Structure formats: structure tokens, C-alpha cells
């Protein structure tokens, strides 16, 4: 695979992209950005005899499940595909069985109306090493009425069983234990819209969440099974108002201690231990004054199963701190052998540790796979996007600037690798708004930088992952102080000499689409144009969505107030390009339709593109990417402001 198989994939893919693809040019052709990964989801069987993954041999077809002989990677692989389903993930369950997780379009009728949606499916497939062929496949939980299905736990210590989570038509989550040998499906937990279950590494339901109202306020109660009596007891809560509380993230193998993220005592969250018998909370076991402590690393392989390996902290970069010396030594070995300024994650490891599959990614690397043999030899298995050459892509920098009221706003800056400043620039706020951007691969930022634009991704007030102060500063400031942060970012680009004052645009998706809509109607816009993807044009709609949930009424609905762009179309002062998918159920497509029609009626400069079969979140299909990126490139270059940006 290092040479022959990988080369075969790349040769065939060159033909599919077309002979005119000029890979020597600095501007990478659009075709190289929009396809599915050429190789993806690679992992090794427990017995180290086979590799499995998803490969792409035709840009107009779905990826194929591909199985290689690990002892002879140059040999012809075995292919398999589920019917009418696009596979998104493949994973060995035991030495001869793997699962395939896929998605297909699906329309259903709910609450009296037809809904355009999609549904996920999971298949279990048996592979005969002796015959080198697929001998059996079946879709699991096929008879259950559901809107979603996902893998809860592969139960690596139980070779013939897996735990699957099913979201039913009432949007409640049930858990099923599937026995591959007996071909049975047993429900082990029945959820409801108000409660759900959380399992430990062994797949045991050890924690239940329940939404409650009344004193001391709406909250999520966390109940645990007492280690000695087996009785379920409420131990702590996450309050809806203010979002303060303890949130469990891992369970100690002793069954008594729970690791929780605590945001109640400082701006940045810390990790503590909570004792289920004494009900006492420890001093922080992991904290850093400048970053958020966000998670606990728990072993999932046979050699470290259930063991606490370290902690995760998130600031400008996401960092893993290992407390387990054996795991630290393994990761140090991997990092010493692979490219710098990338994140390397173990995708899988054989039971004996002789084969390790590692996925690597970074700001200039969308994804690459490597095989470590006996921890001495490293074989490159392939890159997900072979024509996105890292040397032609751009560095991502962490930056900070001050908003007009003095609040420090973090951000990420990606400048073109060619040309000189001042550049044309794009301010690109993330979705959410209770979310954040991360240091690493970003398709849109890299695409725009490759087209000559400097891209600023502001972590405006309301963003999560930067501390409580920045997060809660966005409450009820939609289109107001939250919007000031983006505009002040545009001004910072000019002051730093990075961007020209009359060559800045704003582009966002989801909440970012809302921000682009708001930018159009606010006075003194610093932008030449706006591009709004799947944006929310009237806040009262989002308030209704979150109001449907008891918890959401106090947790987020109460924080949504400010500017509704739809109410101010007469004030629109810059052109806008709007796009939205007709299968979007997160932000209804009607939000963009209404804003477009109102702007058009008011005589404003507006364009609208409704994309068939596009849903809200990734992964998207190539047809979606080429529509979004192609129109984005053309609009910025030709119609953003007078004569293009």
C-alpha cells in the first residue's frame, strides 16, 4: 500500500479529476477541494492481519469499503458497498467482523408536515480471510422506527457485542446491545425526551440525566448508581440559568470516583474528582489558569482499557497531557516520527501492538494516514486530499485584539502564502454561537487563503471554550456587542496592515450566516459585501426552537435578544449573497427565503441560492461543496462591492 495501492488510487484519481488539472499552479483547482476523501477511516483488525478503510475511485460515486491484507499491502484489496447508502465510517469489531456506518436521504411525516431529512444506518459485515470475500452482511435495528442511530460503545472486551444508541421518533435515545454471534438486539435502556443515559468504558449505564424544574431552578440532574447499594441517587446538577455546574466526563475504574468538569469557581473550567460514596468534591486534579480543562483521556484498547491516561485542555490549541508514562512514551515516539505542527491521533492498534494506524492533520494537512510496524517502521498509507499540497497552503496563526469596550477577543488568522499585504480579507465568524474554532484544518479558511484572501476567524463574545467571561458576555447581545467584535476584527486587520480598508467581506454559516445578515443592516459597515449561509434572519424563530425545551427556555432562549435582520431590511447598505439547503432542519430554509424576498422587495442588492438536498451540518457531498465553494469564489471576485473584492 505504501507504493503500489496508494499509487493506483492516485493515478485513477488523476484521470477522474481530468488531464487539465494543473497541480503546479499556486492556485489549487476547485476540483481538488470538493471530492470525498480518497482514503478515510483506516483501522487495523485486532489480530493484525487486515486493514480496512474507505477509498474513493470515482468522484461521482460513494466511497467503497476496502480491505487489505496487512502482510501484503500491494495485493489487490477486497471491496464492498452497502446498497443505496453512502458509507461514512468503517470499523473492525473483531477479527472477522466490521461495521459500516452510512447515511441516505430520507423524507418522513412528523407533527403533521412532510420533512426532508436523512437517516443513518449501521451494517455488520463478516469477512472470510480464508476465502478473501464478504460472506454475510445485515443492517441492524432495521425494524426500529428512528430518526438517528449511532455507535455508543464497541465493547472491545466483548468481541461479539456492541452498544448502539437509537434516536426514536420522539427524539428520545434508547440503548441496544447487539449480539453479533446470536444475531439478537436487546434494549438495555429506554430514554425519554427529558432523560438519557451515559455509559462507562464497559458499556454499563452508570449515569442518568434528567431535566427538572422548580427550586432551585431549571436544571439537569445527574443521578448515579450507588457503588455499594446499587440504588440510583441524584448527586449534582447543571443549572440552566448561567450554565454553571459539574459535568461528568469520565469514570475511574474503581467505580467510586467520577471525573467532572467544574466551571463554578473560576473563569476557566477545571477537572475534579467526585466521590459517589462520600459525596465530596476533590481539589482540582487538573487545571491551568490560562486555558479550559475540558476532558479526561480514558484507555480504549485492550492493553489500557478503562485506565485514566491523562487530560485535555483547550486554549489557542488543544493539548493532551499524559499522566500515564507508557502512553506518553508511545505518543512521543509517534510525534518524533511524523511531520511537525500537526496533531497525530492513534486510529487503532492491533491487540499485540505490532501494527498501529495513525491519522495526522493540521492547518495545512486535511488528513493523512500512517502505519507503524513494530514501532520501528513507518509506512505512509495515503492522504485524504492528495492535491491539496501542504506547501501551497497557508499557516494559521493565533491572534488577539481588543474590542471597542476593551474585551480581549481571541482569533485565528490565515494569510495567503503568496502575494504581499494589504490583502483582500474575509472576516469569518463561526456558527453556534455557543461553539468555537480550533487550531487545525479549516476547509473554508484554506480555500479562501489560496484564492488570495486573508481570513480572520474571530472568537467573538458568546464563543465557548475560552472561559465563562467571554462566553456569557454574548448573552442578549446578538447583532450588538457580539457584532461589534467582528467589526472590530475588520478594523484590526486594517490597523495591522494586513487588509485594505475597502477590500473586506464577511462570510459565515449558521450563526455566522446570521452575523453576515446583521452586517448588511447595521450602520457604518466595514464590509464591501456579506455572504450568509443557512443564516437566521429573525431571532424570534430561534427563541421558539429553544423554548420548546424546558431546559432550553432558561439555558439559551433567555440569552437570545438583540437585532433581527429581517426587521431592518430598509437599512441594508451593502450587497449580500445568501445560500441555504432545502433539507436544513436546524435552521429552517424559510429564514433565508424570507430575508431574500424582503431585501428584493426593498430594492436592495441581493442574490439567493437554494441548494438541493443540502442539510445543515457536515459531512456534505461533493455536489454541495462545489456549489458552495464555486459560488463563494465567483461572488467575492466579481460581485462583492464595486467590481469585486
Q: What is the DSSP letter of 275?
A: E
φ, ψ of residue 384 to 5 degrees: the values are -65, -40
CA angle 55, 56, 61 (to 5 degrees): 130
Sheet strands (E) in 513-563 = 529-533
Q: What is the pLDDT of residues 243-273, one digit of tens each?
A: 889 999 999 999 999 999 999 999 999 999 9
Q: What is the DSSP letter of 76?
A: P
* Surface-to-core class of residue 504, CB atoms within 10 Å of its CB (0-12 exposed, 13-18 middle, 19+ buried): buried
pLDDT level of residue 62 (50, 70, 90 thresholds): confident
| Mean pLDDT along residues 135-143 | 89
Residue 42 has pLDDT above 80, yes or no: yes
The rounded mean pLDDT for the chain is 90
- pLDDT for the residue 544: 58
Pick the CATH number of 394-638 from 3.40.50.1820, 2.102.10.10, 1.10.390.10, 1.10.3720.10: 3.40.50.1820
What gap in Å lies between CA 621 and CA 87, rounded to an integer?
12
CA angle 480, 486, 490 (to 5 degrees): 135
When mean pLDDT is compared across 135-149, 310-324, 522-536, the lowest value belongs to 135-149
| Mean pLDDT along residues 384-407 | 97
Residue 240 has pLDDT above 60, yes or no: yes
pLDDT level of residue 10 (50, 70, 90 thresholds): very low
What gap in Å lies between CA 5 and CA 11, rounded to an integer?
10
pLDDT level of residue 396 (50, 70, 90 thresholds): very high
- pLDDT for the residue 114: 66
Residue 231 has pLDDT above 80, yes or no: yes
**Which of these, 637, 390, 398, 643, lies nearest to 531 by C-alpha position?**
637
Q: What's the grid cell of residue 528?
A: 464591501
Answer whether the bond into residue 433 is a cis peptide, omega within 30°.
yes
Residue 313 has pLDDT above 80, yes or no: yes
pLDDT level of residue 546 (50, 70, 90 thresholds): low
Q: Work out the percent of the chain whose per-residue pLDDT is above 70.
A: 92
DSSP per-residue letters across 464-507: SSS-HHHHHTTTT-BTTHHHHHHHHHHHHHHHTTSEEEEEEEEE
Q: 0.85 exceeded by the pTM? A: yes
- pLDDT for the residue 228: 92
| Mean pLDDT along residues 586-606 | 96
Distances (CA, A) of 258 to 222, 223, 235, 275, 603: 12, 12, 11, 6, 59
What gap in Å lies between CA 143 and CA 124, rounded to an integer?
15
Q: What is the pLDDT of residues 170-208, one digit of tens each?
A: 778 899 999 988 889 999 999 888 888 889 888 999 999
Amino acid at each position: 500500500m505504501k507504493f503500489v495501492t496508494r499509487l493506483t488510487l492516485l493515478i485513477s484519481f488523476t484521470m477522474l479529476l481530468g488531464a487539465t488539472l494543473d497541480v503546479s499552479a499556486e492556485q489549487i483547482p476547485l476540483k481538488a477541494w470538493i471530492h470525498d476523501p480518497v482514503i478515510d477511516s483506516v483501522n487495523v483488525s485486532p489480530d493484525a492481519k487486515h486493514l480496512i478503510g474507505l477509498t474513493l475511485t470515482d468522484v461521482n460515486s460513494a466511497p467503497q469499503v476496502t480491505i487489505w491484507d496487512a502482510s501484503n499491502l500491494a495485493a489487490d484489496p477486497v471491496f464492498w458497498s452497502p446498497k443505496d447508502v453512502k458509507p461514512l465510517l468503517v470499523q473492525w469489531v473483531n477479527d472477522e467482523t466490521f461495521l459500516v456506518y452510512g447515511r441516505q436521504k430520507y423524507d418522513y411525516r412528523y407533527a403533521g408536515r412532510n420533512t426532508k431529512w436523512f437517516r443513518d444506518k449501521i451494517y455488520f459485515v463478516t469477512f472470510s480471510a480464508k476465502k478473501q470475500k464478504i460472506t454475510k452482511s445485515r443492517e441492524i435495528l432495521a425494524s426500529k422506527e428512528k430518526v438517528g442511530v449511532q455507535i455508543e460503545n464497541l465493547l472491545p472486551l466483548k468481541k461479539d457485542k456492541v452498544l448502539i444508541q437509537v434516536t426514536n421518533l420522539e427524539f428520545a435515545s434508547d440503548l441496544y446491545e447487539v449480539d453479533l454471534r446470536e444475531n439478537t438486539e436487546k434494549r438495555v435502556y429506554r430514554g425519554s425526551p427529558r432523560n438519557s443515559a451515559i455509559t462507562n468504558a464497559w458499556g454499563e449505564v452508570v449515569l442518568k440525566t434528567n431535566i427538572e424544574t422548580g427550586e432551585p431552578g431549571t436544571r439537569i440532574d445527574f443521578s448515579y448508581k450507588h457503588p455499594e447499594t446499587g440504588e440510583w441517587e441524584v448527586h449534582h446538577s447543571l443549572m440552566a440559568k448561567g450554565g454553571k455546574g459539574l459535568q461528568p466526563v469520565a469514570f475511574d475504574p474503581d467505580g467510586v470516583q467520577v471525573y467532572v468538569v467544574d466551571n463554578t469557581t473560576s473563569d476557566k473550567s477545571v477537572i475534579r474528582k467526585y466521590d459517589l460514596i462520600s459525596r465530596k468534591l476533590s481539589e482540582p486534579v487538573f487545571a491551568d489558569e490560562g486555558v479550559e480543562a475540558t476532558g479526561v483521556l480514558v484507555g480504549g484498547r485492550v492493553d489500557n482499557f478503562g485506565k485514566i491516561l491523562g487530560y485535555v485542555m483547550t486554549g489557542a490549541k488543544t493539548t493532551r497531557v499524559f499522566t500515564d508514562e507508557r502512553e506518553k512514551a508511545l505518543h512521543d515516539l509517534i510525534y518524533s516520527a511524523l511531520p511537525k505542527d500537526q496533531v497525530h491521533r492513534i486510529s487503532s492498534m492491533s491487540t499485540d501492538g505490532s501494527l498501529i494506524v495513525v491519522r495526522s492533520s493540521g492547518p495545512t494537512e486535511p488528513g493523512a494516514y500512517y502505519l507503524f510496524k513494530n514501532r520501528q517502521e513507518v509506512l505512509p498509507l495515503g492522504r485524504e486530499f492528495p492535491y491539496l499540497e501542504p506547501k501551497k497552503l497557508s499557516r494559521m496563526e493565533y491572534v488577539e485584539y481588543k474590542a471597542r469596550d476593551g474585551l480581549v477577543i481571541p482569533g485565528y488568522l490565515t494569510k495567503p502564502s503568496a502575494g504581499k499585504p494589504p490583502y483582500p480579507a474575509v472576516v469569518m465568524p463561526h456558527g453556534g454561537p455557543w461553539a468555537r474554532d480550533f487550531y487545525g484544518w479549516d476547509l473554508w479558511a484554506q480555500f479562501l487563503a489560496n484564492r488570495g484572501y486573508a481570513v480572520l476567524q474571530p472568537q467573538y463574545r458568546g464563543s465557548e471554550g475560552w472561559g465563562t467571561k467571554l462566553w456569557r458576555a454574548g448573552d442578549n447581545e446578538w447583532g450588538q456587542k457580539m457584532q461589534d467584535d467582528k467589526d472590530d476584527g475588520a478594523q484590526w486587520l486594517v490597523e495591522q496592515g494586513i487588509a485594505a480598508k475597502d477590500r473586506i467581506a464577511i462570510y459565515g454559516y449558521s450563526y455566522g450566516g446570521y452575523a453576515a445578515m446583521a452586517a448588511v443592516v447595521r450602520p457604518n459597515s466595514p464590509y464591501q459585501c456579506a455572504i450568509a449561509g443557512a443564516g437566521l434572519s429573525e431571532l424570534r424563530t430561534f427563541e421558539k426552537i429553544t423554548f420548546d425545551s424546558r431546559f432550553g427556555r432558561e439555558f439559551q432562549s433567555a440569552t437570545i435578544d438583540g437585532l433581527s435582520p429581517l426587521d431592518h431590511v430598509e437599512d441594508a447598505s451593502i450587497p449580500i449573497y445568501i445560500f441555504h439547503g432545502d433539507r436544513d432542519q436546524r435552521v429552517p430554509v424559510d429564514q433565508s427565503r424570507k430575508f431574500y424576498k424582503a431585501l428584493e422587495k426593498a430594492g436592495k442588492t441581493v442574490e439567493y441560492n437554494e441548494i438541493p438536498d443540502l442539510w445543515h451540518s457536515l459531512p456534505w457531498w461533493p455536489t454541495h461543496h462545489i456549489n458552495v465553494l464555486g459560488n463563494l469564489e465567483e461572488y467575492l471576485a466579481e460581485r462583492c462591492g464595486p467590481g469585486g473584492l
